[in-house]
Amino acid sequence: MTAQALQIHRNEQFQYPAKFVRQNFARFIAELQDFIRIPSISSDSFQALNCANWLANHLLGIGFEAVQIFSTKGNPVVYGELISDINLPTLLIYGHYDVVPTSPTNQWKFAPFSATIHQNRIYGRGASDDKGQLFIHLKAIESILQTQGKLPINIKCVFEGEEEIGSINFEQFVRENQNLLSADIAVVSDMDMISSTQPALTYGMRGNLSAEIRLKTAENNLHSGNFGGPIPNSILILAALLTKIQGQSGQVLIPHFYDTIEKTTEIEKKYQQKFGKTNHQIQYDAKAFFLNQLQSFSANEQISFLPSLTITSFKGGFQGEGLQSIIPSQAIAKLNFRLVAKQNPYEIAALLRTFISEICPKNVDITIFTSAHAFPYQISTEHPAFRAAALAYEIIFKKKPLFIKSGGTIPVLNIFKKNLKIETIMMGFGLPNDNKHAPNEYFELENLYKGILTSIVFINNLKLKNHAHH
């Protein structure tokens, strides 16, 4: 550990809050359980409001001021602030309290919203994505306030309830509240470390585009005995279209899809080859039977540097138990694109529409819907706040964090950059195999504990020379 790290580790700004965390950790866990038990699925407006109220009350209980719940066209946004001195830097903490559905519920070991503690893990939907990670910063703030009396910087918190459905109303909220949200730097914790012993700082994330293709060949499903043969099958036609959009190895076949991609630098390649996950590790984490072999790219390079297309669902015809002799009149496919630097989700949506119009058979009724347009994001690893976060990880985990690019997407990163003109530090405390968006999602209690300590160090040592006055 460096001399600077040892000095920080031993000073009162860290020691007293760290002791408070140790003494109150059981209470922190119980509070997080209460948070997770609220079934705040994005589509459930009643429970979203319930969760927003809980979160607002929790901010007040910690000591936040100007706590407000803002209505949007969808789920509410929770805001709170603690302004110590307008001459100090301001940190904006972002998180989301909404969660994805729990299906298939029969595959959960524990009830999805029971927040069960088992083998030093807390199980429940949202435990890692994003309630547990959001909670880390709140408990760090509480620990500093209770032992130091005030914060060394100004802090604003903004928590939304629609991240899992593309933050569809959040950008409008940010545009309308730019003065309220003005800050020098933002932080989000909604990503992964490499392992419980190897921390990581994310410096880039992919963009996102979702699409739904609906194809009809007749007004209604038809009896296969009466019409089988001359009547075209919607499922077969749409399946054939999808094979022209994506190759068997995962490559996207849409013309010009790859045109704007920046070439990966040799430094990034060598870094990922040295520190990135092996094909075996990624296959193990995914519990997959095999991996796509895309040219000479490793699995880690595909996730870090390349865009991807996933056909997330395919539906058509009779879906019930047993058999039904029909010719399906409609087939539906849902697609998800992950995009890399210089790719524009709106331009990719236009390329998709154009290509489908060119390859689609005549006389079929086809409709394409696109949503969740999010741009890729990247921050310099030399940014002073990024360096402060790296030092905080090193102090607490006793190991320097690896710098990684994530294959995931967080829309808020570019929303903040575009509207608030600030960068965002991506401090992840989840794990690759903690089952986000899947049955048995969990969050390691050790990561919760170390995450709180890491946040304390980060907050205490966030020194930005050129900051705005708020």
Q: What is the mean pLDDT of residues 68-90?
A: 96
Residue 105: left if φ>0, alpha if ψ -120 to 50, beta else—which one? alpha
In the three-class reduction of DSSP (H, G, I as helix; E, B as strand; rest coil), residue 197 is classed as coil
In the three-class reduction of DSSP (H, G, I as helix; E, B as strand; rest coil), residue 377 is classed as strand
Which residues of 276-364 form beta strands (DSSP E)? Answer: 308-316, 326-327, 330-339
The model's confidence at residue 393, banded by pLDDT at 50, 70 and 90, is very high
Sign of CA dihedral 24, 27, 33, 34: negative
Q: How far apart are CA 149 and CA 6, in angstroms?
A: 24
Domains recognised in the chain with CATH numbers:
3-205+376-460 (3.40.630.10), 207-261+307-374 (3.30.70.360)
Residues with Cβ within 8 Å of 303's Cβ and at least 6 positions away in sequence, in order, are 282, 405, 406, 407
In the three-class reduction of DSSP (H, G, I as helix; E, B as strand; rest coil), residue 404 is classed as strand
Q: Is 23 a residue whose pLDDT tops 90? A: yes
Q: What is the pLDDT of residues 103-116, one digit of tens each?
A: 999 999 999 999 99
Q: Residue 121 — φ and ψ, nearest 5°? A: -130, 150
Beta bridge partners of residue 188, listed in sequence order? 94, 426
Q: What is the pLDDT of residues 326-381, one digit of tens each?
A: 999 999 999 999 999 899 999 999 999 999 999 999 999 999 999 988 899 999 99
Beta bridge partners of residue 377, listed in sequence order? 205
41-45, 142-146, 202-206, 320-324: the lowest-pLDDT one: 320-324
Q: What is the mean pLDDT of residues 59-74?
A: 97
Q: What is the mean pLDDT of residues 209-238?
A: 94
Residues listed for the chain: 470
Strands 377-378 and 330-339: unpaired
Q: Is 155 a residue whose pLDDT tops 80? A: yes
Q: What is the mean pLDDT of residues 50-73?
A: 97
- CA-nearest of 448, 388, 458, 390 to 21 is 448
Q: How far apart are CA 10 and CA 111, in angstroms?
A: 42
Give the H/E segment covering residue 201. strand 200-205
Residues with Cβ within 8 Å of 51's Cβ and at least 6 positions away in sequence, in order, are 35, 38, 40, 97, 98, 161
Q: What integer pLDDT is reported at residue 59 of this predicted model?
A: 98
Q: What is the pLDDT of residues 239-293, one digit of tens each?
A: 999 999 999 999 999 999 999 998 888 888 887 787 778 889 888 888 899 998 8
The mean predicted confidence, pLDDT, of the chain is 93
Q: Is 1 a residue whose pLDDT tops 60? A: no
Q: What is the pLDDT of residues 282-327, one digit of tens each?
A: 888 888 999 988 878 888 888 888 999 999 999 998 888 888 899 9
Query: What is the share, in percent, of the chain residues with pLDDT greater than 90?
Result: 79
In the three-class reduction of DSSP (H, G, I as helix; E, B as strand; rest coil), residue 81 is classed as strand
Q: How far apart are CA 123 and CA 119, in angstroms?
A: 10
Which amino acid type is present at position 216? Answer: K
Strands 77-82 and 377-378: unpaired
Question: What is the pTM for the complete model shown?
Answer: 0.84
Strands 90-96 and 185-188: parallel
